[in-house]
Amino acid sequence: MHALTRLAPDIRQYLLVTGNYWAFTLTDGALRMLVVLHFHSLGYTPLAIAALFLFYELFGVLTNLVGGYLGARLGLNRTMNIGLGLQVAALLMLTVPAAWLGIPWVMGAQALSGIAKDLNKMSAKSSLKLLVPGNQQGRLYQWVALLTGSKNALKGVGFFLGGGLLALFGFAGAVLLMAALLTLIWLASLILLNKDLGRARAKPRFRDILSKSRAINLLSAARLFLFGARDVWFVVALPVYLSSVFGWDFWRVGGFLAAWVIGYGIVQSVAPAITGKAHGQLPDGRAAFVWAALLAGLPAVIALGLSSGWPAHWVLLGGLMVFGVLFAVNSSLHSYLIVSYAKEDGVSLDVGFYYMSNALGRLLGTLLSGWVYQAYGLAACLWISSAFVLLAALISLGLPKHAEPSRAG
């Protein structure tokens, strides 16, 4: 604690925000795996388990839309701490006797967790805009990439953590332990986080939740289709395919997806190096188009490979690895652009609107993943994924471009 107080204020606040985000993400990933494994052991089908997370995604859309407004009026420290507190409440909801853990109750807990997650994420991403000077865009890109990538890597670690806690303590014991640890993080955050972080000087009106910036509206639309393209085959179709066609047991499916998420997060963290920051290049609208265009044809190639009789294991698993790298760069690049585009006063309004589109894309992808796979199979999900990424690329053509190379800072 003494070492923390000796750091520069912006570094200290960045570490506090990042620590909060990391702690939350570990519990979020672990809780998802706990719910999946527990209800799978009770005999629930994959589609029924996916339905348990429907409110998690739906309430994410609403939370991001309203959360940005609350962050601008109340301060990002408060919205981040509200998110931590709600996650504790969601965990405690699942410690009730087993007889109470029906679908409505679990969906309610997941709804609360979804609200908590998006309040926490919006607050963490928005705060970076305020902690990095405006003339240090290279530093901003690195901080955003590190926060985004580490979050996803830790979410994958959380998947393993959830399985381990379930084996050691049972469902209720594991959830109670996580609630207790997160409560300690929450209390520390209440004391240490800057009390005025992100509060707008001019109080925003509720109608200001809708962005008036063309760049942010375009980036938000591209984000919607980008994340819809991932989840249309990744949420339900892929795990079910790996289980039913490849014959993988649940632990193998869960372990593989956890490892994929960890690798995806690592690539996100080093995205600035991949996109040329070392040579003084910072991403703009042109870069968003190029990287989306590189990704657009890949799901279609995987679909063609599966239908052409090529070895399915090599086609699907190899395609997944390449998809993970390209998608991670696209995601990290988008995360930097929204923080860069957002206005400093009331930054959470712009970031909240953007992540509302992100959540809407996940919701759309989740719904389509179950329905399209059940009706038409994995190949159809992959074709839709390619179409969505192509739309994201075309939308990105309208994003601002640098008049000349930007200084990395």
Q: Which of 257, 251, 267, 127 is nearest to 197 (CA)?
A: 127
- Residues of the chain short of pLDDT 50, as ranges, are 1, 403-409
* Distance of alpha carbon 73 from alpha carbon 75, whole angstroms: 6
> pTM score, two decimals?
0.81
The Cα 77–Cα 357 span in angstroms is: 23
**pLDDT value of residue 199:** 63
User: Helix 54-74 vs helix 76-93: angle between axes, to the nearest 10 degrees?
Assistant: 150
Q: Tokens standing for 110?
A: 């997941």
Q: What is the pLDDT of residue 4?
A: 52
Radius of gyration from C-alpha coordinates of the chain: 21
Class of residue 293 by CB neighbours under 10 A (exposed 0-12, middle 13-18, buried 19+): middle
Q: Give the Å distances, CA to CA, from 173 to 28, 43, 280, 311, 376.
A: 16, 21, 50, 43, 40
Q: How far apart are the first and last CA of the chain?
A: 30
Tens of pLDDT, residues 196-251: 665 656 565 555 555 568 899 999 999 999 999 999 998 788 888 888 889 887 67
Nearest CA among 405, 386, 269, 274 for reference residue 335: 269
Digit-coded pLDDT (tens) for 360-392: 998 899 888 878 988 899 999 999 999 999 999
All domains of the chain, ordered by start, with CATH? 8-396 (1.20.1250.20)
Structure confidence at residue 321 (pLDDT): 95
Alpha carbon 303 to chain centroid, angstroms = 25
Nearest to 126 by CA among 203, 87, 205, 72: 72
Q: Are 370 and 45 in contact (CB under 8 A)?
A: no
